[in-house]
Amino acid sequence: MDFKNGVSFIVTVFNKEKFILSTLKSIILNKIKNSELIIINDGSTDNSLKIIKKFLDTDIGIKHKLINQKNVGPSKSVNNALKHAKFSHIKLVDGDDILAPNIIHYMVKEMENLNLDLLYGHWAWDKDHFNYKFKNDLPSAYFFRDSFNRILLGGWGGSSNLMIKTDTFIKINGCDEKVFIQDFSIPLRVSGYHFKSKNLVPFRIGLSKKIICVGPEFIEKRLINNNAQTLHDLSLVVLNFIEEHPLVPKTLKKKVFKKIKGRCWRWKRKKRDQPLFSFEFLSFIMSYIYLNPVIYRLRYEIMNTWKEEKELRICEKPKIKKILVYVGLDLLGDALIKIPFLRFLRQQFPDSHITWLAGKGNSAMTKDLKLITSKLLNNVIENANIGNKLSEIFFRPKIKEEFDILIDTQKRLLTTLVIKKIRSKLFISPSCSYFFSDVKPKNMHEKNLAKELINLGLMLSYNQKIKQEKLEVFDQNGLVRKFKKKYPMSKVAICPGASVEWKKWPIENFIEISDLLNKNDKLPVFFLGPNETNLYSVLKKMIPYALFPLQTETKNITPIHTILFAQTCEFGVSNDTGCGHLLAIADIPTLTLFGPTNSLKFSPYSINNKNVVIDARTYSRQKDIKKIPVQEVIKTINKNFL
């Protein structure tokens, strides 16, 4: 496309009410015969838009276009404006910068003299930039020697201090829209354009010592002052560029990958008080000895380095097509602990194909929990016989397919070595304190099994503020609807059973709790499994107001029925049993009573609710669950649930 000789000013604005008028006035003083003004208001929430409109209503003597949009960030804003440019040169201006007088004539002349595609000048910061005194010097521009190497390795940036040919800007596809800050991608894409394919001629880049613009020395929440955003975007820009430009020399790739690894390590060391002798430090040191990097893995290292920063803006989330989750034994008890993790994984990656691989035996995901997992999993492989024999290490893996993400949920070393042979772009495993994992969680010593699994999923997402969507379970035959209609009052779930006696709190204590609930106008709803059916007639006589839906509302007793009826309750009280995990899966807050079992490790977990534990070890050296006082349970219920 041919462009008329002239300059298109592109001004990006987000909440610049204190500065935008001075910025626009400096542009008008720099207008030339063929020039236009394109202003992008990027979702400002202050008076910026009002000030801009008032200014444009006056006779400014230049054609102009105002684009008002939702906030998308500088990179996308510049590209949106670029679509409307009509002249041969682009002059970018941030909404708080002031251009030097006659700077446009100077920059155009220097670009023509050297036949440049891109020209960078200097810039200044000043506390009172409104009254800054620009020098009248006109130094000659000069070629930027070895520009690509210096830009790639040095993290070159800037926008208000550059001028670029419009056709060049279009050829490089504008700014990298996958990152928020626009400064870094422009010089990198221009200087390295010829690495995109063979027979491309390098663009010509020049430098000048002339001060092009001045900006306020300090502004709250300015992007350039957000060190986390700067380092995050700089790292991603380089990876994006290398993926789009396959001819970049390998030696340069290795150098820049080392810089990224070092950048990540230094940030973690600074912000997280990372110990000097750690796996992270070992990874950093190894990058100087040997590095055969996988860009996919580096992306997740960048993500997990900066994602906890509050002001970090993300333009593009990772696209994951295929995920493989390996589990060892997947009986009902094991599977219940994994459900919160599986729900989180599906919510984070709704379009991904998730395969569940049970290495040994059948999986509860295809049987007892099928009504839940059929919406969460695309494929379940049972009885795979993978990860059990030493000989498997020396042969090709049984699974031939390649996955984007492979998550090993168990910790047995032999199994991990076997599973790691399955092809994947990113391998995650808690085995050996995450020694084999490509990325590691911030908390590598989580005690709770369900939380530990959630941490595996968190490493794959920028989103750290999680609120899980309600679990939708098909209400076959409308059992729950009928139950709620029959008993519309407030209800509380109670699970008095357990697989062994030493996990059972005395049944008379649960009866006392039921009386408390009844006095508070809440119906106790008892969930009696196949091993507790003998309690039904006894409890029905002693607490006639209690409900027993698994005995009265359905002919079959299944985990799904427990979840369905539990969803009608406000909260639950349970022994250390699978029923307690079912209550948590039903998304109701749960109080769990523990005897000898490790409560930190096995307590039910729900992302949405605060579950509470009472541990017998507080009251008994023998960790006897019968020693937990009824009054302590009542006190906990009153404090947390009533």
Looking at residue 224, its pLDDT comes to 52
- The DSSP 8-state label assigned to residue 248 in this structure reads S
The distance in angstroms from the start CA to the end CA of the chain is: 71
Break the chain into its structural domains and give their ranges: 4-217, 227-307, 322-459, 479-641
Listed in sequence order, the residues at least 6 apart from 104 whose beta carbon sits closer than 8 Å to its beta carbon are 7, 30, 31, 32, 35, 91, 163
In the numeric block, the tokens 């700067």 are attached to 230
Closest to 158 measured CA to CA, from 118, 117, 114, 103: 118
- Is the pLDDT score of 259 beyond 70? yes
Tell me the mean pLDDT in the region 497-525.
Answer: 95
Looking at residue 281, its pLDDT comes to 67
Looking at residue 474, its pLDDT comes to 78
Looking at residue 225, its pLDDT comes to 53
- Asked if 572 and 633 touch (Cβ cutoff 8 Å), the reply is no
- Is the pLDDT score of 221 beyond 70? no
One-letter amino acid at 5 equals N
Looking at residue 293, its pLDDT comes to 67
Q: pLDDT tens-digit profile of 370-418?
A: 999 999 999 999 999 999 899 999 999 999 999 999 999 999 999 999 9
Examine domains 4-217 and 479-641 and report if their fold is the same: no
Helix, strand or coil, per DSSP, at residue 111? helix
Q: pLDDT tens-digit profile of 264-279?
A: 988 988 876 666 666 6
Please give the mean pLDDT across all residues of the chain: 92
Q: pLDDT tens-digit profile of 123-163?
A: 999 999 999 999 999 999 999 999 999 999 988 778 999 99
Q: Which CATH architecture has domain 4-217?
A: Alpha-Beta Complex (3.90)
Looking at residue 273, its pLDDT comes to 67
- Asked if 346 and 325 touch (Cβ cutoff 8 Å), the reply is no
- The DSSP 8-state label assigned to residue 549 in this structure reads H
Looking at residue 112, its pLDDT comes to 97
Element (H, E) at 359: strand 353-363
Looking at residue 311, its pLDDT comes to 83
Tell me the mean pLDDT in the region 478-493.
Answer: 94
Q: pLDDT tens-digit profile of 558-613?
A: 999 999 999 999 999 999 999 999 999 999 999 999 999 999 999 999 887 789 99
d(CA 568, CA 586): 9
Residue 443: pLDDT band (50, 70, 90) is: confident
Q: pLDDT tens-digit profile of 307-343?
A: 988 888 888 888 899 999 999 889 998 999 999 999 9
Residue 219: pLDDT band (50, 70, 90) is: low
- Asked if 601 and 619 touch (Cβ cutoff 8 Å), the reply is no
Looking at residue 7, its pLDDT comes to 98
- Asked if 89 and 7 touch (Cβ cutoff 8 Å), the reply is yes
In the numeric block, the tokens 């060190």 are attached to 227
| Lowest mean per-residue pLDDT among 39-48, 66-75, 529-538 | 529-538
Q: Which CATH architecture has domain 479-641?
A: 3-Layer(aba) Sandwich (3.40)
- Is the pLDDT score of 285 beyond 80? no
- Is the pLDDT score of 542 beyond 90? yes
Strands 612-615 and 590-594: what pairing?
Answer: parallel
| Lowest mean per-residue pLDDT among 175-189, 215-229, 302-316, 538-552 | 215-229
CATH number for region 322-459: 3.40.50.2000
Strands 403-408 and 379-381: what pairing?
Answer: unpaired
- Is the pLDDT score of 467 beyond 70? yes
d(CA 314, CA 331): 39
- Is the pLDDT score of 200 beyond 60? yes
What proportion of the chain, given as a percentage, has pLDDT over 90? Answer: 78
- Is the pLDDT score of 166 beyond 70? yes
Looking at residue 310, its pLDDT comes to 82
Looking at residue 277, its pLDDT comes to 63
